[in-house]
Amino acid sequence: MATRTACQVFRRRFSSASAALRPSTAEIRSRRNAVFSREQERQRALYPRIEKIEVSLRGPGLDGTLLIMNKGMSTPLSCARHLTEYHMNNSALALVDGELWPLHQPLTDSCTLTLLMFNDSDPTLLNEAYWRSCSALLGQVLETAFKDDYTVELLSTPEVPVTSGAFCCDVVLDPQLDSWTPSPESLRSLTRGAQQLIHQNLAWEPLEVAPSVALEVFSHSRCKQEEVEQKASDSPKGTVMLYRCGDHVLLSGGPLVARTGLCSQYEVTAMHSLGQGPWGHHRRTQGLSLPLQLQAHHTVWRRLRERAEKLVEAGAKQESTPPPSPDSAQ
């Protein structure tokens, strides 16, 4: 309750600022970056002295390996760099004392560490993070896909299982575009935008922050401010998780994989109208992707794409049968 009350106070403060003339998308991104960088530097300054921690590795061929790392500075990726190029290039997420941990998030205590890869025997948790990351990438593309004259409001990303057949990103476009229906060429243009970000191999930088910081980051979005309030209220620690990819700052409901370059095949497949909602004309943009370590034959990819074009009902019970695997290509 205290967290929700504090959020409401900060939301009223920053909403008054956003009531003024809305700055351009580039200006908003610049301001969000500035707040993110300021808070990142503040958190790094909490560890002025170098203290050592012990990191005990788990996994095939790694059991019993002990690394001496720097508290508050070293990350799971830092640990992977002390192993092999294979571990460094293929690790996407980590387990720290059994808790999912972003690869770029500093380690703050001695711990056990397991590096997660897509070819693990049970990649369920990693698959969920990958689907979430693909949605984040799609949101980043959508935010800059239109002329600066048009506003783009990214809504809370629906959590859908991989078995739904498509990842999703809900969005409200400028009212001037309410009657617009995306053409196949429009979807291909969004796909090209995503592939450019994948080619840049950008890191998803995590930053756990207090609600007041997140509200300042999203001071020009009442929708995001309400999402911050809700996530902070649901969090046991009363904090929220931000990520930065390039110059795009986003709010995430769970861990993301290490970098955009871990995505391989990626395609935006559909944009469905969800009708009028509290923020305007809600749309659900959907896509399909496979990670770098997995590839699908073009025949299988076509079948997966056809399925990914169908509207995903977020929150509805999904089929238990997974999509066809690359092994079924023949």
Domain final position from 83, 101, 117: 117
Asked whether the predicted pLDDT for residue 222 surpasses 70, the reply is yes
* Mean pLDDT value of segment 143-155: 92
Residue-wise pLDDT for 298-318, tens only, equals 899 999 999 999 999 975 444
Number of domains in the chain: 2
User: Are 196 and 91 found together in one domain?
Assistant: no
User: Are 87 and 107 found together in one domain?
Assistant: yes
User: Are 106 and 211 found together in one domain?
Assistant: no
Q: Does residue 147 fall inside a structural domain?
A: yes
171, with CB counted inside 10 A (0-12, 13-18, 19+), is buried
Domain final position from 117, 148, 169: 117
User: Are 176 and 268 found together in one domain?
Assistant: yes
User: Are 90 and 164 found together in one domain?
Assistant: no
Residue type (1 letter), 265: Q
Q: In this predicted structure, what is the pLDDT of residue 148? A: 86
Residue type (1 letter), 142: L
Residue-wise pLDDT for 23-57, tens only, equals 888 899 999 999 999 999 999 999 989 999 999 99
User: Are 161 and 227 found together in one domain?
Assistant: yes
Q: In this predicted structure, what is the pLDDT of residue 4? A: 57
Question: What would the 3-class secondary structure string for the chain be?
Answer: CHHHHHHHHHHHHHHHHHCCCCCCHHHHHHHHHHHHHHHHHHHHCCCCCCCEEEEEEECCCCCCCEEEEECCCCCHHHHHHCCCHHHHHHCCEEEECCEEECCCCCCCCCEEEEEECCCCCCCHHHHHHHHHHHHHHHHHHHHCCCCCCCCEEECCCCCCCHHHCCEEEEEEECHHHCCCCCCHHHHHHHHHHHHHHHHHCCECEEEEECHHHHHHHCCCCHHHHHHHHHHHHHCCCCCEEEEEECCEEEEECCCCCCEHHHEEEEEEEEEEEEEEECCEEEEEEEEEEEECCCCCCHHHHHHHHHHHCCCCCCCCCCCCCCCCCHHHHC
User: Are 256 and 146 found together in one domain?
Assistant: yes
Q: Does residue 42 fall inside a structural domain?
A: no
Domain final position from 92, 117, 142: 117
Residue-wise pLDDT for 175-219, tens only, equals 999 999 999 999 999 999 999 999 999 999 999 999 999 999 999
Q: What is the pTM of this model?
A: 0.87
Q: Which residue has the tokens 């050592």?
A: 52
Q: Does residue 31 fall inside a structural domain?
A: no
Asked whether the predicted pLDDT for residue 322 surpasses 50, the reply is no
User: Are 233 and 267 found together in one domain?
Assistant: yes
User: Are 75 and 135 found together in one domain?
Assistant: no
* Mean pLDDT value of segment 132-156: 94
* Mean pLDDT value of segment 54-62: 94
Domain that holds residue 70: 50-117
User: Are 108 and 213 found together in one domain?
Assistant: no
User: Are 92 and 139 found together in one domain?
Assistant: no
CATH number of the domain enclosing 106: 3.10.20.30
6 falls in which pLDDT band (50, 70, 90)?
Answer: low
